[in-house]
Structures are given as C-alpha cells and as structure tokens.
A and B are shown apart, each in its own frame.
Chain A
C-alpha cells in the first residue's frame, strides 16, 4: 500500500532554535499533504494543507511565520518550526492521499510522526 515516511522521528532542541521535519510519499506523488499536531491523549489538530508549487493553506490560529511549510516537489513536504519554544513540544504528523486510488480513495496515509521536545 501507499507509504508516507517522516523524518526525524524524535528531535530534542534548545529553545530558540529551528527544527525541520520532512515528509515524503514513497510510492506515489502527492500534490497535497496535510500537517497535523497532536498533544498527549488528544486528537489530531490540522495545522495546514501543503500544496505542491504554491503556498500552504493554514488553519485558523496557526501562525504561518512560526510553522513554515514548503512543498517543493510532488513527493516531499517540509515543516519548519522556527524559534521553537517549550510550548511547541508536540507530536507532529504528516499525511497524504494516494491519487492512484481515484476520487473515492479518500483515506489518509500517515507518516510515523515526529516527536519534538523543546528544552
């Protein structure tokens, strides 16, 4: 089945530094990828929709200058948490749909997730 790979799986950084998380679709091309954030024991909150070749669409309340998204190719989207602070510590997960499954193939394939800890 379709595979989405995310890297790194865990990252610890100092407050004030920036962290980049990569999300790759391994066996399909994804013009759109979705970035979610999940706090412990909570739901997945959609942060933004990453669009290949154009600007990302951010959800209300998500700072676009804080969470930079780049979707430079059909198989790679990156999320950069800029000037990270302890409150940015969270589980970040990307996802994508496989267009080869047709218009009904709405299922999302998730990456393994990246656990960010900001000291």
Chain B
C-alpha cells in the first residue's frame, strides 16, 4: 500500500544546533505537506510543496521536495526551545485526496 516513511523518529539537539527530518515515498506524490504537533496538541499546517524540486523557506525552516516527487525534507537552522514538538510529513497521491502521514520526528531542544 501507499506509505510515507519518515526518519529519524527522535532527535535531541542543543539549542542553536540544526535539525533535519526526512520523508520518503515509494511512489510519486502529488504533493507533500508538513505539520507540527506540540505535546498535547493537534497538528498544525506548516507548508505544502507541489512542484518537483521545490524549495520553500519560512524564517529558519527550509522545506524541500525532491526532483522525483518521492522525498522531502524539513531543515531547521539554529533551533530554539519553541521548535519543540513532533514534525510530520504527509503525502497525497492525488490533488485533494487523502493524506498519508509519516511516522513523525519528535524534536527536543536543550536550552
């Protein structure tokens, strides 16, 4: 079946260090989205990538979509304690279709 794999499962960093999480699908995606879930909260949308090779930035966050539209990454530069949470990628195989979530990467940041 359609699956979106995400690594690593956990990442512990010192404040100021960088952080990256990776997503991979065995089949081509229509688009990929990224969400952040704070402890005890619900997922909140961060961004959507649609085009092959697309790169988008939000302040310290950089999102990439692979040329083959099968993989994606989220990179955070100089992490802060406010970045703590679980980051999920979610892929869709057709426009407006259901989203398949990756396993998530839980980020903890030591001050």
Contact = CB atoms under 8 A, between A and B. Distances in A.
Interface size, B (range)? 20 to 34
Interface string A35-76: 010000111111001000000000010000000000000000
A90 to B, nearest CB: 14
A42 B103 CA distance: 6
A93 interface: yes
Contacts, number: 53
A87 interface: no
A23 B31 CA distance: 26
B45 to A, nearest CB: 4
Interface of A is mostly: loop
B31 A110 contact: no
A95 B43 CA distance: 10
Given A42-B103, A43-B88, A43-B104, A110 B42 contact: yes
Contacts of B106: 41
Interface residues of A, number: 23
Interface of A: 34, 36, 41-46, 49, 60, 93, 95, 97, 103-104, 106-113
Given A60-B1, A106-B33, A108-B90, 19 more contacts: A34-B98, A34-B99, A41-B106, A42-B103, A42-B104, A43-B88, A43-B104, A44-B43, A49-B98, A93-B43, A95-B43, A97-B96, A104-B48, A106-B31, A106-B95, A109-B45, A110-B43, A110-B44, A113-B41
